[in-house]
Structure 1
Amino acid sequence: MTFDFTPGDGGTAPSGHARAIGADARVDTRLRHAIGDLFLPDSARLDDRTRARIHRLLGGVVAAAEAEVRRHAARLLAARGATRAAEALLGGASVLSPLSEAGLLRDPELMKELVARTELDGLFDALAPAVVAPDRPSLLVHLADSPDGVVAAAALALLAADNRRGAANEGVGPVRSDLPAQLRQRLLWWVAAAIRAQGPEPGGPEPGGPEPGGPGSGGMAERDRAIADATLRSLAAHDERDRPEAAAARLAGAIDARADELGPLLLEALADRRGALFVGLLAHASGVDHDQVRHLVVDPRGDLLTLLLHAVGVDRARIARIGVALAEADPRRDLERLADAVDWAAAHDRADARAALAPLALDRDFRAAVRSLARAR
């Protein structure tokens, strides 16, 4: 048996006592995770496919942000004569593991976005393809040909955004870090800090010594400045309107469907497997924000989704058709329970249903504050 003695700060191998303490801590950590997994309810457990998709999405989003920062920072350094520093920056190891080990990627808001997006994409990918009318093109293609220029432009924008994300999900196109602006800003600065941590401290010597004509002893400060400038450039270039969610919201607003138009449009969005548009139409009609509606759509219980559909004027038959389509795509859903949920929703007066769901339409930060206060009590 051999041991890998890695010298510590004092040039000596870690003591047996330190190793034993570390091993004991690892046992506690593994046990804590095992207990959490053992008692996790099935309703909260991610299936293997969803877990793999989330890991792939997270890795792709981090890699996309990292590539943007590294490429432009290296270009800035090269322009300043620090070619070796630029090459070292481009050749750095992925920052995914350091960010994960630091616990930053466990950020609740980031994971909420990625999990919800993955679950919605997975649900709509699993829907059985359907044709609303034999001679009618798909919903977005039909809307893109609308004589209303605003609707046509919004439909084309959503079609392009959906296609970009779909290609990235299938691994045939580049992944974009198309997060909401606040999350994108947070992630980019994490990435910048992790890239910076791979180099010497500011004021230290450059790798291989100062470069002729380069920034000399101030090279690491120049490196930091290049990373910061590249990050600011990426932040400035971000356009929230390019996200499928934003494009779907614009299209839903342009259509501004009446109550009698909404049900058929929602069924067409299902038939077309356009998750962002389905959520956007329902969010616009109800006044509930996109994230909340997305949660109701992917929730396997489905009771509040049926109530929301009833509240915005979708008739009982179409609510049932939507519920059946989602149940066929999601094995966690129960058709008998769906029938009970439809009966329960239909028993409400529409005005009462809207009043019951009114808390979901409150400002997101207000809802978060209400939840925080409830937990504190």
Structure 2
Amino acid sequence: MERAERARLRAETRLAGTIADFFLDADARLDDRTRLLLAQVLGAIVGAIEWDIRRHAARLLVGGGATRAGEAMLKAGAGTVLERLTRAGLLRDEDLMDELIARVRHDLIAASLPVEVAEPDEASLLVRLAGVPDSVVASAASALLAAESRRRVANEQGHVGGSELPAELHHRLVWWVAAAIRDGLKTAARDSDRAITDAAQRSLAAHDEGERPDAVATRLAAALDARPNELAAVLVESIGDRRLSLFVAVLAHALGIAFDQARAITLDPEGDRLWLALRALDMDRPTIARIGLALSEADPRRDIEAFADALDAIVSIGVEDARASIAPLALNRDFRMALRALARTERR
């Protein structure tokens, strides 16, 4: 009887999910590539945090003489933590999913950008930067090469070495995973709770968000500090070199906004905010055209014909008008969120 009831509830849940998916607008629905990589990245991040916590907690328990509890810590069924977090709805967290979806879309677009080399025998942009006499630029460029290589291998092989999440989101996810591990133990004891807590705190202490490709690219953009007469070349060559992280970081640095804001306007398939941002930096028609065409080729959500038709109107936007339009992006993030929350309240 109980088994039949559980089966009925699962069927109802599946039906509700299928109905919700059917009525989603096309713009809101994830394409198959994005959905697949998103599931892979989320599963790999949760799995990596889970294994780190389980392994260290088991080591603490065995070291304290609780051998059976240590063995039990390692014997939990595969995927149970991910399933628990999913059932609880915790992984629907808007901040977490926004970050992961943006990361996945960023990586897919970066991998699909057309390669555009200025000279056949010329090294790529990052390789050249890694060899410049300026040690700050060279060090940041080398670090970005390494960080992007790690990310690419992780995406290809379906595993991660760390969560590569901003510190606040990593902190949130670590404690969710710790709680799910604790919830899955058949018998809980004070020693197990303490071991899980210590292992979670160890994971938090080991996390270095400065190693994320986004953070490394931001450091490189600051070290380059491209002047107005250099900006167009750096942006175009970043895109042509498939270094979307560097493109976003240079754009963010030039506009005086955060990396995640610049990434959001770059990934937006409509492109309106990106064109405004580029005009605010006084980019000319050929520069905007090359960037727009490269992104349109890499992102199937973009309408290349609509972009071509709108190009004259985009270029006709005055620099000062464009700067005024994107000025709100430079506001403090918490301040912007507070203004949006207030606006939503007043609309009710």
Give the TM-score normalised by structure 1. Answer: 0.86
Is contact 2:45–2:160 with CA below 8 Å preserved after alignment? no
Equivalent position of 1:270 in the other structure: 239
Query: Could you say what secondary structure the match of 2:157 adopts?
Result: coil
Query: Pick from 57, 66, 90: which aligns with 2:41?
Result: 57
- Quick check: 58-67 or 361-370, which moved more? 361-370
What is the alpha-carbon root mean square deviation over aligned residues? 2.0
CA shift for structure 1 position 24? 7.4
Equivalent position of 2:275 in the other structure: 306
Per-residue CA distance 1:308-349 (angstroms, 9 max, x = gap): 111113222111111011111122222232134433332222
Shift in alpha-carbon separation, 1:195–1:30, aligned structure 2, 3 A:
closer
Query: Pick from 199, 211, 230: which aligns with 2:185?
Result: 199
Is contact 2:109–2:298 with CA below 8 Å preserved after alignment? yes
- Quick check: 337-346 or 311-320, which moved more? 337-346
Equivalent position of 1:169 in the other structure: 155
Distance in 2 of aligned mates of 1:315 and 1:258: 15
Is contact 1:302–1:341 with CA below 8 Å preserved after alignment? no
Per-residue CA distance 1:20-52 (angstroms, 9 max, x = gap): 9x847953x455434432332222221111100
Equivalent position of 1:127 in the other structure: 113
Q: Where does structure 2 lack aligned partners over 5 or more consecutive residues?
A: none
Is contact 1:303–1:338 with CA below 8 Å preserved after alignment? no
**1:182 partner amino acid:** E
Is contact 2:147–2:212 with CA below 8 Å preserved after alignment? yes
Equivalent position of 2:143 in the other structure: 157
Is contact 2:221–2:246 with CA below 8 Å preserved after alignment? yes
Distance in 1 of aligned mates of 2:301 and 2:157: 27
Is contact 1:185–1:235 with CA below 8 Å preserved after alignment? yes
Select the structure that is richer in helix: 2
Query: Pick from 216, 225, 232: which aligns with 1:247?
Result: 216
1:375 corresponds to 2:327: no
CA shift for structure 1 position 103? 0.5
**1:370 partner amino acid:** L
CA shift for structure 1 position 174? 3.8
Give the TM-score normalised by structure 2. Answer: 0.93
**Aligned pairs (5 A) from 1:81-160:** 81-93=65-77, 94=79, 95-160=81-146
Query: Pick from 312, 319, 323: which aligns with 1:343?
Result: 312
Is contact 2:45–2:163 with CA below 8 Å preserved after alignment? yes
Equivalent position of 1:77 in the other structure: 61
Distance in 1 of aligned mates of 2:91 and 2:133: 45
Distance in 2 of aligned mates of 1:274 and 1:164: 14
CA shift for structure 1 position 125? 1.0
**2:297 partner amino acid:** E
Equivalent position of 1:215 in the other structure: none
Per-residue CA distance 1:172-231 (angstroms, 9 max, x = gap): 7644211000000000000000111122455xxxxxxxxxxxxxxxxx101110110111
State the number of aligned residues. Answer: 344
CA shift for structure 1 position 97? 0.6
Distance in 2 of aligned mates of 1:320 and 1:297: 14
Distance in 2 of aligned mates of 1:308 and 1:5: 59
Distance in 1 of aligned mates of 2:134 and 2:2: 72
Distance in 2 of aligned mates of 1:82 and 1:200: 15
**1:83 partner amino acid:** T
Q: Where does structure 1 lack aligned partners over 5 or more consecutive residues?
A: 7-13, 203-219
Is contact 2:276–2:322 with CA below 8 Å preserved after alignment? yes
Identity %: 53
Is contact 1:285–1:312 with CA below 8 Å preserved after alignment? yes
**2:316 partner amino acid:** A
Per-residue CA distance 1:230-288 (angstroms, 9 max, x = gap): 11111111111100000000000000001121111111111221121111110111112
CA shift for structure 1 position 109? 0.4
Shift in alpha-carbon separation, 1:362–1:40, aligned structure 2, 3 A:
same
Equivalent position of 1:325 in the other structure: 294
Equivalent position of 2:228 in the other structure: 259
The structure number with the bigger radius of gyration is 1
1:46 corresponds to 2:15: no
Is contact 2:41–2:159 with CA below 8 Å preserved after alignment? no
